[in-house]
Amino acid sequence: CLDTEGKIHEFGSSWRNDNCNDCSCSRGGIGCCTSYARPVDYDKEKCESIFSKETCSYKVVEKNDHSKECPVHTWVG
């Protein structure tokens, strides 16, 4: 399989790409899906979500103080 970055992968292999997607190669081609959950139910007026490519995860924090995390009631992914 040849991925979008031009890298070759063997059939049956799996990897995480630079966009935090988990991918696998089969004789049918390459399949990828997100490796992280996205926060959808939180106080959007008081808080904001920040994505980290280092950890492939979101953190939801207060807009005025990023050291304070906000509760998230629903995640999708």
Question: What pLDDT was estimated at residue 41?
Answer: 97
Single out the residue of 19, 15, 8 nearest to residue 51, CA to CA.
19
Question: What pLDDT was estimated at residue 2?
Answer: 93
CATH code 2.20.25.590 region(s) in the chain? 38-76
Question: What pLDDT was estimated at residue 55?
Answer: 95
CATH class of 1-35: mainly beta
Per-residue pLDDT in tens (0 to 9) along the chain, 77 residues: 999 889 999 999 999 999 999 999 999 999 999 999 999 999 999 999 999 999 999 999 999 999 999 999 999 98
* Contacting residues for 73 by C-beta, under 8 A, at least 6 apart: 41, 42
CATH number corresponding to 38-76: 2.20.25.590
Question: What pLDDT was estimated at residue 77?
Answer: 83
CATH code 2.10.70.10 region(s) in the chain? 1-35
Question: What pLDDT was estimated at residue 5?
Answer: 86
